[in-house]
Chains A and B, each alone.
Chain A
Amino acid sequence: MTRETISAAGPHNPGRRNFLSAVGATVASLQTAACIRKPYEKILPYAERPEDLVPGEARHYATVWNVGGAVQGLLVRSTDGRPTKVDGNPNHPMTGGSTIWAQASVLSLYDPERSKEPVREGEGVSPDEAVGFLKKLPDEIGDGSGLAVVVPELPSPTADRLWEDIRAKYPKAELYRFDGAGTDHARAGAAMVGIEGAAWTTDGTPTVIAAFDADPIGTEGDTTAFTKAFAAGRDPNRKPAEANRLYVVEPHVSITGSNADHRMAVKGSEVGDFLAALAHHLKKGGLNVPTLDAPKDKLDSKFVKALAKDLLSRKRGSTIVMVGERQPAHVHALGFVLNEALGNFGKTLRFTKQGPTEVGALSDLVRRMNDGSVKQLVVMGSNPVYEAPADLNFGELFQKVPLTIHLGLYRDETGRLATWHIPQSHYLESWGDLRAREGTTAIQQPLVAPLYPSLSPIEFMARLTGAESKGYDLVRATHQGAISGGFDKRWQRWLHDGVVDVGQAPSFVPSVKTDGLAAAYKFRAERAQGLELAFVRDNAVLDGRFGNSPWLQELPDPITKIAWDNAAVVSPNTAEKIGVPNNLEQSSVRDTVMVDVSVGGETVRLPVWVQPGTAEDVVVLSLGYGRKHGGKFAKSGFDVNSLRTAESPYIRSGAKVTPTRKGYAVACMQPEASMHDRPIVRDATRGDFTDEPNFVEKFEVMDEDHVASLLWDEPEYTAEHQWALTIDLNSCVGCGSCTVACQAENNIPWVGKEDALKGREMHWIRIDRYFEPKHSDQVEVRYQPMACVQCETAPCENVCPVGATVHGPEGLNNMAYNRCIGTRYCSNNCPYKVRRFNFFHYTVRNDADYGMGIAMQRNPDVTVRYRGVMEKCTYCVQRINKARIHAKVNGDGIIPDGTVKTACQEACPADCITFGNIRDPDSKVSHTREDPRNYAVLSELNLRPRTTYLAKLTNPNPDLAEG
């Protein structure tokens, strides 16, 4: 066009004036063309619209999934057929809110690096070819004497039924369980005391919770249900005897540990000794437990004595002793014995009969692989080549098996070595059923047809028997017999509610055998010297299965606040011994020291990170990072599996740590840990709160008369709805579900490690964590979710030169993205630092990383922001608007209390967020704002934030009071 216009202006005498006028005309016409004519767009209506479908209106469907056996009922939002958001299903007994993994699972559906085609010996083949292979497979398997099947934790009635079919067809086949988030040690411990064929769950209702290296709030068990009850048990209105108290004994600071009333940092190998010491004191208190060896120093521990006394003082059956998966089986066995003695069986620890019992462990399989008796090895939905402890040498043995078949979402480390890799359907694409440990079954219904040719686990199992059944028929066949008549109607009800109302797994109260315990529980007098390694499941990527989720990679670890990486975490004292500086004091995230962690001839080099609260002489290593074939995001961090052994997969002594070079950049999103004596998070003990209910006022740094003057006119908010939000710091456990939920709801991009290092993360709601960085093994962590607090006298608004951020009549500080010119004055003037700026076109970068997938996930009700635009929390204004329109069209325009839930509120397993209208004196949020614990952060600035906080209360044991 430019050339045409210029030549039109006169080719014969292209004088300066002509040239300039031609350029001017060209620019003007180009601008006219580019800016004014709206883009040419098509409307593509359905040829035949499905019944009840309203274009553009979201619908919700109930489904269910599981992580390592922890079943969660879910409600998935589908927008025009695309799943866009996952939340907990309130009908399901094991769900309150949702985990970060459930929140992020909607993104993994669209992951462009998912396995898209079957692969035979490294070559992609057509789905038909794979189908043909599976058809012929039963002939090859024969009687199954060479068949070994590795299954993940899959508590599915249909899967159980299909196992029976597989066993019937191949009587000699062997079944093994491997799941990086599984409960092998707990199961083995249960077997030691005679509990088999059972699943068990602890809700959070006990009044004394003693967690021995257990992380029921973070990475182990039915976390959301536990957290919900745990948070409810800390309600300040409870009587002192009913309020819970959490004791934690652990080597690393877990999420559970960070919420403890009393926490003791000890080596992982000593946790069992402390439990034995506890058993000793409980026996002295009159409980029927066997006598066990416990070293003297553990017996004398003030902590253990106080814990024993506290346990004995409570009502029988109202406490719980929890042992974490990182502990060996005999510690679990003792845990069961203690719970039985404390009367907790059937009360706080509930058992249901379930599952096939004859399932071997991975080490049994390796033994068979070693002697060559495995001819066909099927690995379903797990990744042992990456995750199995290195000394099993699984990868090498795997390749020696004549025929290996891998079913997986990704062609991961195991998939690459397998003879055949078959793509697995995502849970949002599959029919299935899952039974919670508590006993309730739920139907897994797909939200979309499989995006790629793939098989769901149960479909794959049916193929092993030679059947080509569809998942839908398999699941229906399982449940058809459960009721007589009217099945279809019931089935519809089950799908709608998300729970099956029949066929509960029967609950029972097992008895325990204690005879073998003393022998297994021998006190080992000699301890290996040197440093002890503690391998922990990562708070974000767990065992690595979620490694390719950029949302989870960018979610900072709740404690260390590191994103995109794992590190060798040590206490300040241990750091000094090793000879590395305390990065918390220097806060130089770009200059972290790399260390060589070596044990048993293996060495891994990774950055070292200092975290107070870590036990002395312990190096904490997060699993799940540094994957070779997990996808481009899963590559980040460092693989530490090579340092693990099968005998003790989570604890290893005798390690050496040598500092090498400086200069590794660790993307720590909050290097600052101290509040510097400012009353940001306010807390008190329950006792002090009873004596002085208005204790939060004592923290104010300026008296009210000083604060109350404004330079400008009083803002008036007269609309019928005045929105406000309160966050109860007493309930918040710091898990991060709100952050991921907000990201999914509000189309928030990820920025990648480099930009995260520059502090350019985009999370609208972050969780600030505070502790005193000077302490070494003792640490008291405080969490504070922080998003835009919607100040009534917002300082950001005064400085915006273009009026892109202005107040609405309902008290919201609105963002008009299209007006924003990116001066960032607002962010500079925001005392809470909650405004986020698109330094680059992160959205387009995400598109490039994720292909069309991320576009499919995006919420069409929220604007996708451009480069150079400021953004922040809007209290999910799209949800408010939707509710308002509904109220206006169908009634008097008043939105009833509880109708609008913000994304963070919906996701929160601890119910710590309350949102509503403060013009309505009966709304829940009005009540929470009248709570004596209610306070505003930075109240001295007179910003009158609409988000306020309820102070935290701790419940320390008076016997352990300091001094």
Chain B
Amino acid sequence: MSHAETALPPISEHDRYIGQSVSRPNAVRLAEGRGTFVDDIDMPRMVHVVYWRSPSAHARITRIDASFARLMPGVVAVVDGVEMAKVCKPWVATLSHMVGMKSAPQYPLAIERARWQGEPVVAVVADTRAQAEDALQYLVVEWEALPAVVETETALDAATPIIHPDLGDNLCFTRSLDTGGVDEAFAKADAVAEVTFQFGRHTGVTLEPRCQISDFNPSEKRLTVHHSQQAPHMMQDLYSRQFGLPESHIRVICKDVGGSFGIKVHAYPDDFATVALSIMLERPVKFVADRLESFTTDIHARQHRVTGRIAAAKTGEILAFEIDDLTGIGPYSMFPRTSAIEGNQVVNLVGGPYRHQHYRAKLNVVFQNKTPTCQYRGVGHPIACAVTEALVDAAANKLGIDPLVIRQQNVIRDNAYPCAGASGVKFEGLSHEACLEKIAVMMNYPAVRAEQESLRKRGVYRGIGFAALIELTNPSAAFYGVGGARISAQDGATIRLEPTGVVTVMVGVGEQGQGTEGIFAQIAADVVGVPMSAIRVVTGDTDVTPYGGGTWASRGAGIGGEAVLQAGFALRKNILSLASVILKREAETLALRDAQIVDASTGESVMALHELGRIAYFRPDTLPAGVTGELMVTRHYAQRDYPFIFTNGVQASLVEVDVDTGFVKLLKHWVVEDCGRVINPMLVDEQMRGAVVQGIGGALYEECLYDEGGMLQNGNMADYLVPMAAEMPDIDVAHIETTTKSSVLGAKGAGEAGTAGAPAAVMNAINDALRPFNTTVYSQPITPEKILRALGTIR
């Protein structure tokens, strides 16, 4: 397999933009404060909703008295779950291909029983948010606390209450995987390491909270929802089915979204409740989660206890991995993508970069009376990578082998593809060896090691940690479609030549800041043959774009980009075909370059594109009979070669641990990433950086801290610690391009890999720094207290 260290073959006749670090056209208006986020939008007769949310982890609601609340100034309605159930069906979040998965029916507003602190129970609607909050204080809700299930280790014990008695137990999903030969591998191993890992539950903290405006026109029975969301067509489908409205009567608009990271790809009970209210009240209803609500209602993720083992021979060869993963979700699986996917991914991904044949895994996903969990940037990859890479370091340590060397020895060879990993994941083409080689040079590994050694003698403890990773992107229907979820795995792009020669591109994949619209413009400009300034991209509107899947699983560039590419080539062909008729020349002798139709061999301009536009649209009388310009084309693309197109990379972290205080200073971070063809190196760099820092958050700072009663203790921006600029390192990024053959574009995804590898690299670096003290920390977030405890400084 060859890796592009030099330029890849061009996509178009002449790639002026593809492969270049072009600034994003939509960045200018955002830098001038001219974005349009949902809360920026006001509509006539619009009202605001706040929700009375359960103050308890598990409560029986015995009485709701809205009589005082209804009298408060500005109040328009107070609605409970029973009334709302008349308008909106309940849902159950399971997928049929996750065999045995179970969850209970969930309503938009809880009826009779609330099962997590923050679950919405009553809706209060008023002219302003402040008035609705004022009225909330006069809403009388009587409730009795019920026992709450808040420990994962005992969730399945006989003595633990069952959250949904009809389900029989608190088990949402279980899975076992066994390649066979695992016990034999461990028996013959020269080194076995076993580690118990803890990963703290944490959450996305998008700066723009979840919000939407739902507007129902009763005359047409048309629903329009402005939503800060990643998957407009998915929401269109869900609203259609939950409310019994035809799909054609629903428009979902997702324009500027202030950060999502997966938090905004799920369908929340308050999403359905807000829509229900607009139907009941026949006027626009706006919901904006405030920051306190966000902490208890945005999906959480990544609460796992993983016991892991690695078996290795004294040569350094890794023989086997084994894991037992216990993960705690909410009282319901989250709709519609389900809360079992994250754990399922952990099973699929542990050991991913390596050549071993033997692997055994067990997974239990258990219900808790805590905020529901679901897919959040990386989805299981950060856990799987941290477990794998820490075990590899543990084996290396036992065998006295350098951690970079043991990885070089064990990664799947770059020329071994296509092949499958031990867990069954299929790989088309990766570049682990090339990435490891490159990172060693980038970071000047021998120098960093030497410096670590000399500083240790002076009582300064630095550590170097590596993480090799795989990351799934460009999903096929294997992810959701096969399980019955109506989440599109294909995408479409419509491309239209306007009379003046500018080009409009409408795509089913949108963006929340990644730069997807920018790269679509780059692709379209190159493939059609016009300047990038002539391209206008439209996304995020189900009335306008082709049917698509939206943004998730790092599919925007690879799948959306391919649809744009195909549509662009088709438009170019149609333009040249029409030009050939107008100019009475063979189409092959013509080319479209920089908005000019030119002689393909001399480059001489024969007709301006806007002239062709004028003729096509305003002077069809001048065209021969039977000839019509088809200057708007749509193409769809689905990735069908593999369940996922995997990417790979390696990260390295350099830290300094102050062993007196337990504080960790992040000195530097390196990333070598392979996402196939890089359409815009700057945007990939920035995706990597943002994703790495988000991963560092989980590794060092972020945890949703619950007490024994299931109450969130730190649900605010002062007590929940997100990474800020002063503590973050500079991050160097390099690219290797192993293209995918599943598309012409050859691009894979890049949005999540940073988050997949950062916790592993940082944890490994900390443990490398602590090596002289013969101690380790495997519980994330790694706080100063945990380091002091590991050092024996405190009990």
A and B associate in one complex: no
